[in-house]
Structure 1
Protein backbone atom coordinates (compact mmCIF):
# COMPACT_ATOMS: atom_id res chain seq x y z
CA UNK A 1 0.00 0.00 0.00
CA UNK A 2 1.50 3.31 -1.14
CA UNK A 3 -0.04 6.45 0.36
CA UNK A 4 0.31 10.15 -0.49
CA UNK A 5 -1.65 13.02 1.01
CA UNK A 6 -2.18 16.77 1.07
CA UNK A 7 -4.18 19.19 3.18
CA UNK A 8 -5.14 22.85 2.76
CA UNK A 9 -4.71 24.56 5.13
CA UNK A 10 -2.09 22.59 7.02
CA UNK A 11 -2.95 20.47 10.02
CA UNK A 12 -2.27 23.31 12.48
CA UNK A 13 -5.14 25.33 10.99
CA UNK A 14 -7.43 22.53 9.79
CA UNK A 15 -10.03 20.35 11.51
CA UNK A 16 -9.31 17.55 9.00
CA UNK A 17 -7.08 14.71 10.14
CA UNK A 18 -5.21 11.84 8.41
CA UNK A 19 -3.82 8.71 10.08
CA UNK A 20 -1.92 5.87 8.42
CA UNK A 21 -1.13 2.45 9.91
CA UNK A 22 0.61 -0.52 8.31
CA UNK A 23 -2.61 -1.64 6.62
CA UNK A 24 -5.10 1.22 6.96
CA UNK A 25 -5.78 4.88 6.17
CA UNK A 26 -8.16 6.95 8.29
CA UNK A 27 -9.56 10.38 7.33
CA UNK A 28 -11.67 12.55 9.63
CA UNK A 29 -13.39 15.91 9.13
CA UNK A 30 -14.10 17.62 12.44
CA UNK A 31 -17.04 20.00 12.76
CA UNK A 32 -17.83 22.59 15.42
CA UNK A 33 -20.33 21.94 18.20
CA UNK A 34 -23.83 23.39 17.86
CA UNK A 35 -23.23 25.22 21.13
CA UNK A 36 -19.82 26.78 21.88
CA UNK A 37 -17.50 24.47 23.82
CA UNK A 38 -13.84 24.66 24.75
CA UNK A 39 -12.86 21.61 22.69
CA UNK A 40 -12.18 22.55 19.09
CA UNK A 41 -13.19 20.19 16.26
CA UNK A 42 -9.60 19.49 15.21
CA UNK A 43 -8.72 18.26 18.69
CA UNK A 44 -11.86 16.12 18.74
CA UNK A 45 -11.04 14.55 15.35
CA UNK A 46 -7.42 14.07 16.44
CA UNK A 47 -8.52 12.14 19.52
CA UNK A 48 -10.83 9.80 17.63
CA UNK A 49 -8.26 9.25 14.89
CA UNK A 50 -5.50 8.45 17.36
CA UNK A 51 -7.73 5.91 19.10
CA UNK A 52 -8.76 4.23 15.83
CA UNK A 53 -5.15 4.08 14.60
CA UNK A 54 -3.92 2.63 17.91
CA UNK A 55 -6.62 -0.04 17.92
CA UNK A 56 -5.86 -1.03 14.32
CA UNK A 57 -2.16 -1.21 15.13
CA UNK A 58 -2.88 -3.55 18.04
CA UNK A 59 -5.40 -5.65 16.09
CA UNK A 60 -5.24 -5.02 12.32
CA UNK A 61 -8.25 -7.27 11.62
CA UNK A 62 -10.55 -5.88 14.32
CA UNK A 63 -14.19 -5.04 13.61
CA UNK A 64 -14.25 -1.52 12.13
CA UNK A 65 -17.55 -0.28 13.64
CA UNK A 66 -16.39 -1.50 17.06
CA UNK A 67 -13.09 0.34 16.67
CA UNK A 68 -14.84 3.59 15.70
CA UNK A 69 -17.23 3.16 18.63
CA UNK A 70 -14.22 2.76 20.89
CA UNK A 71 -12.73 5.98 19.57
CA UNK A 72 -15.96 7.91 20.17
CA UNK A 73 -16.25 6.50 23.69
CA UNK A 74 -12.63 7.30 24.55
CA UNK A 75 -12.80 10.94 23.45
CA UNK A 76 -16.22 11.47 25.03
CA UNK A 77 -14.98 10.19 28.38
CA UNK A 78 -11.65 12.01 28.22
CA UNK A 79 -13.26 15.40 27.63
CA UNK A 80 -16.54 14.79 29.51
CA UNK A 81 -18.59 15.58 26.40
CA UNK A 82 -22.38 15.76 26.16
CA UNK A 83 -24.57 15.38 23.08
CA UNK A 84 -25.27 18.71 21.36
CA UNK A 85 -22.41 20.24 23.37
CA UNK A 86 -19.66 18.38 21.54
CA UNK A 87 -17.83 18.71 18.26
CA UNK A 88 -18.48 15.96 15.74
CA UNK A 89 -16.53 14.30 12.95
CA UNK A 90 -16.87 12.19 9.87
CA UNK A 91 -14.82 8.99 9.79
CA UNK A 92 -13.61 7.22 6.64
CA UNK A 93 -11.37 4.15 6.69
CA UNK A 94 -9.68 1.96 4.10
CA UNK A 95 -8.16 -1.24 5.45
CA UNK A 96 -6.19 -3.78 3.42
CA UNK A 97 -6.35 -7.43 4.43
CA UNK A 98 -4.77 -10.54 2.92
CA UNK A 99 -7.78 -11.31 0.73
CA UNK A 100 -10.15 -8.33 1.04
CA UNK A 101 -10.19 -4.56 1.35
CA UNK A 102 -12.64 -3.00 3.82
CA UNK A 103 -14.11 0.46 3.26
CA UNK A 104 -16.03 2.32 5.95
CA UNK A 105 -17.71 5.74 5.93
CA UNK A 106 -19.60 7.57 8.68
CA UNK A 107 -20.60 11.01 7.47
CA UNK A 108 -19.90 12.81 4.22
CA UNK A 109 -16.19 12.13 3.64
CA UNK A 110 -16.35 9.83 0.60
CA UNK A 111 -14.09 7.01 -0.54
CA UNK A 112 -13.52 6.58 -4.27
CA UNK A 113 -11.92 3.36 -5.48
CA UNK A 114 -11.52 1.12 -8.49
CA UNK A 115 -9.20 -0.60 -10.92
CA UNK A 116 -7.48 0.46 -14.13
CA UNK A 117 -10.73 0.66 -16.09
CA UNK A 118 -13.53 1.46 -13.64
CA UNK A 119 -14.16 3.53 -10.54
CA UNK A 120 -16.84 3.63 -7.87
CA UNK A 121 -17.66 5.70 -4.82
CA UNK A 122 -18.73 4.87 -1.29
CA UNK A 123 -20.62 7.84 0.12
CA UNK A 124 -22.86 8.57 3.08
CA UNK A 125 -25.50 11.00 1.81
CA UNK A 126 -28.02 10.65 4.63
CA UNK A 127 -27.55 14.22 5.84
CA UNK A 128 -27.71 15.59 2.30
CA UNK A 129 -31.02 13.77 1.70
CA UNK A 130 -32.82 15.30 4.69
CA UNK A 131 -35.54 17.91 3.99
CA UNK A 132 -33.83 20.99 5.44
CA UNK A 133 -35.41 24.23 4.17
CA UNK A 134 -32.69 26.38 5.72
CA UNK A 135 -30.12 24.67 3.53
CA UNK A 136 -32.08 25.45 0.38
CA UNK A 137 -32.68 29.01 1.57
CA UNK A 138 -29.03 29.88 2.17
CA UNK A 139 -28.02 28.35 -1.16
CA UNK A 140 -30.72 30.29 -3.00
CA UNK A 141 -29.54 33.55 -1.41
CA UNK A 142 -25.96 32.83 -2.44
CA UNK A 143 -27.03 32.13 -6.02
CA UNK A 144 -28.87 35.46 -5.99
CA UNK A 145 -25.66 37.26 -5.06
CA UNK A 146 -26.21 38.13 -1.39
CA UNK A 147 -22.89 36.63 -0.30
CA UNK A 148 -21.79 35.71 3.20
CA UNK A 149 -23.79 38.40 5.00
CA UNK A 150 -25.51 38.46 8.40
CA UNK A 151 -28.62 36.78 7.04
CA UNK A 152 -26.44 33.99 5.64
CA UNK A 153 -24.93 33.44 9.08
CA UNK A 154 -28.39 33.43 10.68
CA UNK A 155 -29.59 30.79 8.23
CA UNK A 156 -26.55 28.65 9.01
CA UNK A 157 -27.33 28.85 12.74
CA UNK A 158 -30.94 27.88 12.05
CA UNK A 159 -29.72 25.04 9.83
CA UNK A 160 -27.56 23.68 12.64
CA UNK A 161 -30.55 23.75 14.99
CA UNK A 162 -32.61 21.86 12.41
CA UNK A 163 -29.85 19.29 11.85
CA UNK A 164 -29.65 18.69 15.58
CA UNK A 165 -33.17 17.21 15.51
CA UNK A 166 -32.03 14.50 13.10
CA UNK A 167 -28.61 13.70 14.55
CA UNK A 168 -27.82 10.08 15.40
CA UNK A 169 -31.30 8.68 14.95
CA UNK A 170 -32.87 6.21 12.54
CA UNK A 171 -34.91 8.81 10.67
CA UNK A 172 -31.96 11.16 10.34
CA UNK A 173 -28.22 10.80 9.92
CA UNK A 174 -25.28 9.37 11.84
CA UNK A 175 -22.00 11.01 12.79
CA UNK A 176 -19.25 10.59 15.37
CA UNK A 177 -20.19 12.76 18.34
CA UNK A 178 -20.87 11.32 21.84
CA UNK A 179 -22.88 8.17 21.09
CA UNK A 180 -20.57 5.21 20.41
CA UNK A 181 -23.38 3.19 18.83
CA UNK A 182 -23.47 5.71 15.96
CA UNK A 183 -20.44 3.83 14.63
CA UNK A 184 -22.63 0.77 13.99
CA UNK A 185 -24.58 2.83 11.47
CA UNK A 186 -21.58 3.61 9.29
CA UNK A 187 -21.57 2.19 5.77
CA UNK A 188 -19.22 -0.78 5.42
CA UNK A 189 -18.18 -2.41 2.16
CA UNK A 190 -15.88 -5.41 1.68
CA UNK A 191 -14.19 -5.88 -1.69
CA UNK A 192 -12.10 -8.83 -2.91
CA UNK A 193 -8.47 -7.76 -2.94
CA UNK A 194 -8.00 -8.49 -6.64
CA UNK A 195 -10.86 -6.14 -7.62
CA UNK A 196 -9.39 -2.92 -6.21
CA UNK A 197 -6.13 -1.30 -7.31
CA UNK A 198 -6.50 2.28 -6.11
CA UNK A 199 -8.47 4.52 -3.80
CA UNK A 200 -8.84 8.18 -2.89
CA UNK A 201 -10.11 9.33 0.50
CA UNK A 202 -11.24 12.95 0.77
CA UNK A 203 -13.16 15.40 2.87
CA UNK A 204 -16.10 17.25 1.37
CA UNK A 205 -14.09 20.46 1.20
CA UNK A 206 -12.17 18.80 -1.65
CA UNK A 207 -14.69 16.38 -3.15
CA UNK A 208 -17.55 18.86 -3.54
CA UNK A 209 -15.70 21.55 -5.52
CA UNK A 210 -14.14 18.81 -7.65
CA UNK A 211 -17.66 17.58 -8.42
CA UNK A 212 -18.91 21.09 -9.16
CA UNK A 213 -16.06 21.68 -11.61
CA UNK A 214 -16.44 18.28 -13.28
CA UNK A 215 -12.89 17.40 -12.26
CA UNK A 216 -13.60 14.09 -10.54
CA UNK A 217 -10.96 12.09 -12.39
CA UNK A 218 -10.40 9.82 -9.41
CA UNK A 219 -8.37 7.26 -11.36
CA UNK A 220 -5.83 9.95 -12.24
CA UNK A 221 -5.94 11.55 -8.79
CA UNK A 222 -5.20 8.16 -7.22
CA UNK A 223 -1.76 8.22 -8.86
CA UNK A 224 -0.84 11.72 -7.63
CA UNK A 225 2.01 12.20 -5.20
CA UNK A 226 1.81 14.65 -2.32
CA UNK A 227 3.03 17.59 -4.39
CA UNK A 228 0.46 16.96 -7.11
CA UNK A 229 -2.33 16.56 -4.57
CA UNK A 230 -1.41 19.84 -2.91
CA UNK A 231 -1.31 21.57 -6.28
CA UNK A 232 -4.81 20.30 -7.03
CA UNK A 233 -6.12 21.59 -3.70
CA UNK A 234 -4.44 24.95 -4.33
CA UNK A 235 -6.18 25.19 -7.71
CA UNK A 236 -9.55 24.53 -6.07
CA UNK A 237 -8.86 27.21 -3.48
CA UNK A 238 -7.75 29.65 -6.16
CA UNK A 239 -10.91 29.01 -8.18
CA UNK A 240 -13.03 29.75 -5.10
CA UNK A 241 -11.10 32.98 -4.52
CA UNK A 242 -10.88 34.27 -8.06
CA UNK A 243 -13.96 32.93 -9.83
CA UNK A 244 -16.57 32.40 -7.11
CA UNK A 245 -15.68 34.46 -4.03
CA UNK A 246 -19.34 35.02 -3.07
CA UNK A 247 -20.39 31.41 -3.80
CA UNK A 248 -22.89 32.22 -6.54
CA UNK A 249 -21.77 29.39 -8.83
CA UNK A 250 -21.02 26.83 -6.12
CA UNK A 251 -23.16 27.69 -3.07
CA UNK A 252 -21.42 26.68 0.14
CA UNK A 253 -21.47 27.52 3.83
CA UNK A 254 -18.18 29.42 3.77
CA UNK A 255 -15.72 30.69 1.19
CA UNK A 256 -13.15 27.96 1.92
CA UNK A 257 -13.71 24.66 3.67
CA UNK A 258 -10.77 22.57 4.88
CA UNK A 259 -9.56 20.34 2.06
CA UNK A 260 -7.94 16.90 2.31
CA UNK A 261 -7.00 14.31 -0.32
CA UNK A 262 -5.29 10.95 0.24
CA UNK A 263 -4.26 8.82 -2.75
CA UNK A 264 -3.66 5.10 -2.26
CA UNK A 265 -2.09 2.63 -4.67
CA UNK A 266 -2.84 -1.03 -4.03
CA UNK A 267 -0.92 -2.42 -6.97
CA UNK A 268 1.20 -5.45 -5.98
Structure 2
Protein backbone atom coordinates (compact mmCIF):
# COMPACT_ATOMS: atom_id res chain seq x y z
CA UNK A 1 0.00 0.00 0.00
CA UNK A 2 1.49 3.32 -1.11
CA UNK A 3 0.41 6.28 1.04
CA UNK A 4 0.69 10.02 0.39
CA UNK A 5 -0.87 12.72 2.52
CA UNK A 6 -1.08 16.35 3.58
CA UNK A 7 -1.96 17.40 7.13
CA UNK A 8 -2.10 21.16 7.65
CA UNK A 9 -3.45 23.54 10.26
CA UNK A 10 -6.07 26.16 9.47
CA UNK A 11 -3.75 29.01 10.42
CA UNK A 12 -0.07 29.36 11.33
CA UNK A 13 -1.24 31.13 14.48
CA UNK A 14 -2.91 28.03 15.95
CA UNK A 15 -1.87 24.41 16.49
CA UNK A 16 -2.96 21.62 14.19
CA UNK A 17 -5.62 19.45 15.83
CA UNK A 18 -5.52 16.92 12.96
CA UNK A 19 -3.08 14.01 13.20
CA UNK A 20 -1.92 11.32 10.77
CA UNK A 21 -0.01 8.14 11.54
CA UNK A 22 0.84 5.90 8.57
CA UNK A 23 2.59 2.52 8.50
CA UNK A 24 3.07 -0.29 6.01
CA UNK A 25 -0.36 -1.82 6.61
CA UNK A 26 -2.52 0.90 8.11
CA UNK A 27 -3.31 4.60 8.23
CA UNK A 28 -4.85 6.46 11.18
CA UNK A 29 -6.41 9.91 10.74
CA UNK A 30 -7.68 11.93 13.70
CA UNK A 31 -9.43 15.29 13.87
CA UNK A 32 -9.42 16.74 17.36
CA UNK A 33 -12.21 19.07 18.45
CA UNK A 34 -11.08 22.41 19.83
CA UNK A 35 -13.29 23.42 22.74
CA UNK A 36 -15.00 26.81 22.54
CA UNK A 37 -13.48 29.60 24.59
CA UNK A 38 -14.72 29.61 28.15
CA UNK A 39 -15.85 25.97 28.22
CA UNK A 40 -14.33 23.97 31.07
CA UNK A 41 -13.16 20.61 29.67
CA UNK A 42 -12.10 19.28 33.05
CA UNK A 43 -8.77 18.36 31.42
CA UNK A 44 -5.25 19.76 31.87
CA UNK A 45 -4.26 18.57 28.38
CA UNK A 46 -4.86 20.22 25.03
CA UNK A 47 -6.27 18.67 21.87
CA UNK A 48 -2.86 18.01 20.22
CA UNK A 49 -1.97 15.96 23.31
CA UNK A 50 -5.16 13.95 22.95
CA UNK A 51 -4.75 13.13 19.25
CA UNK A 52 -1.08 12.23 19.64
CA UNK A 53 -1.80 9.85 22.52
CA UNK A 54 -4.88 8.35 20.88
CA UNK A 55 -3.03 7.74 17.60
CA UNK A 56 -0.12 6.14 19.45
CA UNK A 57 -2.42 3.86 21.42
CA UNK A 58 -4.36 2.83 18.31
CA UNK A 59 -1.16 2.13 16.38
CA UNK A 60 0.26 0.08 19.22
CA UNK A 61 -2.77 -2.20 19.24
CA UNK A 62 -2.72 -2.50 15.43
CA UNK A 63 0.93 -3.57 15.55
CA UNK A 64 0.58 -5.97 18.47
CA UNK A 65 -2.65 -7.59 17.26
CA UNK A 66 -2.79 -7.16 13.47
CA UNK A 67 -5.95 -9.29 13.14
CA UNK A 68 -7.94 -7.63 15.94
CA UNK A 69 -11.35 -6.26 14.99
CA UNK A 70 -11.10 -2.53 14.43
CA UNK A 71 -14.01 -1.90 16.80
CA UNK A 72 -11.98 -3.59 19.54
CA UNK A 73 -8.87 -1.62 18.53
CA UNK A 74 -10.79 1.64 18.80
CA UNK A 75 -12.43 0.74 22.10
CA UNK A 76 -9.10 -0.15 23.68
CA UNK A 77 -7.41 2.89 22.14
CA UNK A 78 -9.92 5.19 23.82
CA UNK A 79 -9.59 3.34 27.13
CA UNK A 80 -5.77 3.46 26.97
CA UNK A 81 -5.85 7.19 26.27
CA UNK A 82 -8.13 7.71 29.25
CA UNK A 83 -5.52 5.93 31.37
CA UNK A 84 -2.87 8.28 29.99
CA UNK A 85 -4.61 11.15 31.79
CA UNK A 86 -3.21 9.50 34.94
CA UNK A 87 -5.88 10.82 37.28
CA UNK A 88 -5.08 14.45 36.46
CA UNK A 89 -8.35 15.16 34.67
CA UNK A 90 -12.10 14.90 35.24
CA UNK A 91 -13.07 12.24 32.69
CA UNK A 92 -16.72 12.49 33.65
CA UNK A 93 -16.84 15.97 32.09
CA UNK A 94 -19.07 15.93 28.99
CA UNK A 95 -16.76 18.51 27.34
CA UNK A 96 -13.59 16.45 27.77
CA UNK A 97 -11.30 16.78 24.70
CA UNK A 98 -12.44 14.61 21.81
CA UNK A 99 -11.50 13.48 18.31
CA UNK A 100 -12.89 11.82 15.24
CA UNK A 101 -11.20 8.61 14.12
CA UNK A 102 -10.70 7.09 10.66
CA UNK A 103 -8.61 3.94 10.19
CA UNK A 104 -7.81 1.98 7.03
CA UNK A 105 -5.97 -1.35 7.34
CA UNK A 106 -4.68 -3.71 4.66
CA UNK A 107 -4.67 -7.37 5.62
CA UNK A 108 -3.70 -10.41 3.59
CA UNK A 109 -7.19 -10.77 2.13
CA UNK A 110 -9.20 -7.68 3.13
CA UNK A 111 -9.08 -3.92 3.44
CA UNK A 112 -10.73 -2.99 6.74
CA UNK A 113 -12.03 0.42 7.79
CA UNK A 114 -13.63 2.17 10.73
CA UNK A 115 -14.93 5.74 11.07
CA UNK A 116 -16.10 7.48 14.23
CA UNK A 117 -17.21 11.08 13.88
CA UNK A 118 -17.38 13.18 10.74
CA UNK A 119 -14.16 12.18 8.99
CA UNK A 120 -14.46 9.89 5.96
CA UNK A 121 -12.98 6.80 4.33
CA UNK A 122 -13.58 6.29 0.60
CA UNK A 123 -12.67 2.95 -1.02
CA UNK A 124 -12.88 2.21 -4.74
CA UNK A 125 -13.37 -1.48 -5.49
CA UNK A 126 -14.73 -3.82 -8.10
CA UNK A 127 -15.68 -2.07 -11.33
CA UNK A 128 -15.29 1.45 -10.02
CA UNK A 129 -17.83 1.14 -7.19
CA UNK A 130 -17.27 3.52 -4.27
CA UNK A 131 -17.76 2.64 -0.63
CA UNK A 132 -18.07 5.81 1.44
CA UNK A 133 -17.92 5.56 5.23
CA UNK A 134 -18.84 9.03 6.45
CA UNK A 135 -20.65 9.55 9.74
CA UNK A 136 -22.47 12.85 9.28
CA UNK A 137 -24.79 12.68 12.31
CA UNK A 138 -23.33 15.92 13.67
CA UNK A 139 -24.85 17.72 10.66
CA UNK A 140 -28.40 16.84 11.78
CA UNK A 141 -28.53 18.05 15.38
CA UNK A 142 -31.66 19.90 16.46
CA UNK A 143 -29.55 22.83 17.62
CA UNK A 144 -25.91 23.85 17.85
CA UNK A 145 -25.68 25.90 21.02
CA UNK A 146 -22.77 25.04 23.32
CA UNK A 147 -25.15 23.48 25.82
CA UNK A 148 -26.92 21.41 23.17
CA UNK A 149 -23.74 20.06 21.58
CA UNK A 150 -22.41 19.17 25.03
CA UNK A 151 -25.66 17.39 25.92
CA UNK A 152 -25.82 15.47 22.62
CA UNK A 153 -22.16 14.41 22.46
CA UNK A 154 -21.83 10.62 22.72
CA UNK A 155 -25.57 9.97 22.89
CA UNK A 156 -27.94 8.10 20.57
CA UNK A 157 -29.87 11.34 20.07
CA UNK A 158 -26.76 13.18 18.91
CA UNK A 159 -23.38 11.99 17.66
CA UNK A 160 -20.51 9.75 18.78
CA UNK A 161 -16.83 10.64 19.03
CA UNK A 162 -13.63 9.41 20.71
CA UNK A 163 -13.33 11.03 24.11
CA UNK A 164 -14.10 9.58 27.54
CA UNK A 165 -16.47 6.72 26.64
CA UNK A 166 -14.80 3.60 25.15
CA UNK A 167 -18.23 2.24 24.20
CA UNK A 168 -18.40 4.95 21.52
CA UNK A 169 -16.42 2.48 19.38
CA UNK A 170 -19.54 0.34 19.09
CA UNK A 171 -21.29 3.22 17.29
CA UNK A 172 -18.59 3.59 14.62
CA UNK A 173 -19.05 2.70 10.95
CA UNK A 174 -16.90 -0.36 10.22
CA UNK A 175 -16.52 -3.02 7.55
CA UNK A 176 -14.24 -4.82 5.11
CA UNK A 177 -13.73 -5.12 1.36
CA UNK A 178 -11.85 -8.00 -0.33
CA UNK A 179 -8.30 -6.83 -1.01
CA UNK A 180 -8.31 -8.24 -4.56
CA UNK A 181 -11.12 -5.81 -5.45
CA UNK A 182 -9.56 -2.61 -4.06
CA UNK A 183 -7.71 -0.24 -6.38
CA UNK A 184 -7.41 2.96 -4.35
CA UNK A 185 -8.73 4.63 -1.20
CA UNK A 186 -8.72 7.93 0.68
CA UNK A 187 -9.12 9.21 4.22
CA UNK A 188 -10.20 12.80 4.89
CA UNK A 189 -11.10 15.02 7.81
CA UNK A 190 -14.09 17.34 7.60
CA UNK A 191 -11.84 20.20 6.54
CA UNK A 192 -11.64 18.35 3.21
CA UNK A 193 -15.05 16.61 3.10
CA UNK A 194 -16.70 20.03 2.98
CA UNK A 195 -15.78 19.98 -0.71
CA UNK A 196 -18.60 17.42 -1.04
CA UNK A 197 -20.91 18.58 1.74
CA UNK A 198 -20.80 22.31 0.96
CA UNK A 199 -19.34 22.87 -2.47
CA UNK A 200 -20.97 20.21 -4.64
CA UNK A 201 -17.98 18.04 -5.49
CA UNK A 202 -18.37 14.27 -5.72
CA UNK A 203 -16.42 11.64 -3.79
CA UNK A 204 -15.16 10.30 -7.11
CA UNK A 205 -13.89 13.74 -8.07
CA UNK A 206 -11.95 13.96 -4.79
CA UNK A 207 -10.47 10.51 -5.34
CA UNK A 208 -9.43 11.39 -8.90
CA UNK A 209 -7.87 14.68 -7.80
CA UNK A 210 -5.92 12.91 -5.07
CA UNK A 211 -4.53 10.37 -7.52
CA UNK A 212 -3.74 12.71 -10.40
CA UNK A 213 -2.65 15.88 -8.60
CA UNK A 214 -1.91 14.85 -5.02
CA UNK A 215 -3.36 15.72 -1.61
CA UNK A 216 -2.04 19.28 -1.77
CA UNK A 217 -4.43 20.02 -4.62
CA UNK A 218 -7.47 19.19 -2.46
CA UNK A 219 -6.18 21.61 0.17
CA UNK A 220 -5.88 24.31 -2.50
CA UNK A 221 -9.36 23.47 -3.79
CA UNK A 222 -11.02 23.76 -0.39
CA UNK A 223 -9.26 27.02 0.48
CA UNK A 224 -10.34 28.54 -2.82
CA UNK A 225 -13.96 27.50 -2.24
CA UNK A 226 -13.94 28.86 1.31
CA UNK A 227 -12.67 32.26 0.19
CA UNK A 228 -15.15 32.44 -2.67
CA UNK A 229 -18.23 31.77 -0.50
CA UNK A 230 -20.04 34.92 0.73
CA UNK A 231 -19.41 35.61 4.44
CA UNK A 232 -21.90 33.86 6.70
CA UNK A 233 -22.95 31.33 4.07
CA UNK A 234 -22.00 28.30 6.16
CA UNK A 235 -22.15 27.42 9.84
CA UNK A 236 -18.82 27.19 11.63
CA UNK A 237 -15.37 28.61 11.05
CA UNK A 238 -14.15 29.80 7.65
CA UNK A 239 -11.05 27.58 7.58
CA UNK A 240 -10.46 24.27 9.34
CA UNK A 241 -7.45 22.02 9.76
CA UNK A 242 -7.21 19.78 6.71
CA UNK A 243 -6.01 16.23 6.20
CA UNK A 244 -6.19 14.31 2.93
CA UNK A 245 -4.65 10.83 2.51
CA UNK A 246 -4.42 8.84 -0.70
CA UNK A 247 -3.74 5.09 -0.69
CA UNK A 248 -2.82 3.16 -3.83
CA UNK A 249 -3.04 -0.63 -3.91
TM-score w.r.t. the length of structure 1 is: 0.80
224 and 5 in structure 1: CA distance in 2 versus 1, 3 angstrom threshold: farther
Q: CA RMSD in A?
A: 2.2
Gaps of 5+ in 2: none
Tell me the alpha carbon deviations over residues 71-111 of structure 1, each in whole angstroms, 9 at most, x when there is no partner: 21122122244132411000011111111111101100011
Q: How does 1:55-94 map to 2 (within 5 A)?
A: 55-79=61-85, 80=87, 81=89, 82=91, 83-94=93-104
Gaps of 5+ in 1: 135-158
Question: Contact conserved, 2:123 with 2:185, CA < 8 A, in 1?
Answer: yes
1: CA distance between counterparts of 2:47 and 2:180?
Answer: 37
1: CA distance between counterparts of 2:241 and 2:69?
Answer: 29
Match of residue 2 from structure 1: 2
Q: How does 1:26-65 map to 2 (within 5 A)?
A: 26-33=28-35, 34-36=39-41, 37-65=43-71
Question: Contact conserved, 1:55 with 1:67, CA < 8 A, in 2?
Answer: yes
Match of residue 16 from structure 2: 14
Q: CA deviation at 1:211?
A: 3.9
Q: How does 1:104-183 map to 2 (within 5 A)?
A: 104-115=114-125, 117-132=128-143, 134=144, 159-183=145-169
Match of residue 206 from structure 1: 192
Per mean C-alpha deviation after superposition, the further-off stretch among 230-239 and 9-18 is 9-18
Q: CA deviation at 1:197?
A: 1.2
Tell me the alpha carbon deviations over residues 111-162 of structure 1, each in whole angstroms, 9 at most, x when there is no partner: 1111362323111122223322x4xxxxxxxxxxxxxxxxxxxxxxxx2310
2: CA distance between counterparts of 1:247 and 1:233?
Answer: 21
Q: Secondary structure at the match of 2:103?
A: strand
Q: Say whether 1:223 aligns with 2:211.
A: yes
Q: Secondary structure at the match of 2:104?
A: strand
Give the length in aligned residue pairs. 236
Tell me the alpha carbon deviations over residues 13-66 of structure 1, each in whole angstroms, 9 at most, x when there is no partner: 310011112211111100024524432212111110111011111121112112
